[in-house]
Amino acid sequence: MADLIKDDGDRIVVDPARKERGAMILILGSIGMRTHVLQGNVSARTRSTQRLIRHACLATVLLVTITVVAQAVHAAGGSQTKFKRISTQYIAALGNPGATSGSGAQLWGLWPLDPGPRGVKLNRYQSLKNSGGVAPARWKFDETDWWLEEHGLIMEQPTIPLPPGKYLVTGARKVTAVLTIHPADSHGDRRWELDQGATLYDVTHLACRSARYTPATVGGSCSPANAKQTAFPVAPGGTMPPVEGCTKRDYAVLIVIGMGVED
């Protein structure tokens, strides 16, 4: 899933009007995504390299090394939250794309590292099995709970649940917002909310598609071997393909560029 970000004019801007109201919005300025089409006589190795680059959708913003200024944001409770720069991380989120808040965040996950380049191609699944489920990137495959991205790469699981806190998230389009994940209530439910009316769709990176596959029946088989490789790639914003024997759940991918730090 790897488009390349232009480095001419990309910026993150603080909206002073929003700051006066005790909140911060960051506008991602004109991020241009581009992949280079190879022409003429190109070696197979070069074509393969280019294909791998395009296949790493989630690597999009590894090139985005921003400085999130320690800008005070007043939370509802009156405390101040500052945001610090982090290495780019990725949230797997569930919810109505048009919602600004909701419940069920205990089912959300976090990839501290870009899972795209660390993935395994579907046609290499047998090799993954032969290695005891240990991928070349040293993550462990779980045949009862596994993930695919839009090019058919088997990904490592995110860390579930997503820890409570404040995250600066973006879809690498126009909107950057503060995502708050609340601690679990007495029933184990975790609420989430985006500030200033941003929707889940606004902060979803549409080019990145991901889905979680689990057995459709207790004790049943749910194997990547049953995935149809012709169903990939999946178009930006599209749904991931079903896999025989599996229950599928599509997740939105949010890019995390900053973490809240309480004073």
pLDDT tens column, 186-195: 999 999 999 9
> 176: which residues sit within 8 A by CB, 6+ positions away?
12, 25, 26, 27, 28, 168, 169, 170, 203, 257
Q: Fill in the DSSP letter of residue 240.
A: P
Count how many domains the chain has. Answer: 1
Torsion of CA 112, 118, 123, 124, to 10 degrees: -120
Opening angle at CA 66, ends 252 and 59, nearest 5: 45
Side-chain-facing half-sphere of 223: CA atoms under 13 Å: 12
pLDDT per residue rounded down to tens, the chain (263 residues): 433 233 333 333 333 334 333 333 333 333 333 333 333 444 445 444 444 544 444 444 434 334 333 333 444 444 567 999 999 999 999 999 999 999 999 999 999 999 999 999 999 999 999 999 999 999 999 999 999 999 999 999 999 999 999 999 999 999 999 999 999 999 999 999 999 999 999 999 999 999 999 999 999 999 999 999 999 999 999 999 999 999 999 999 999 999 998 76
What domain range is 184 assigned to?
4-262
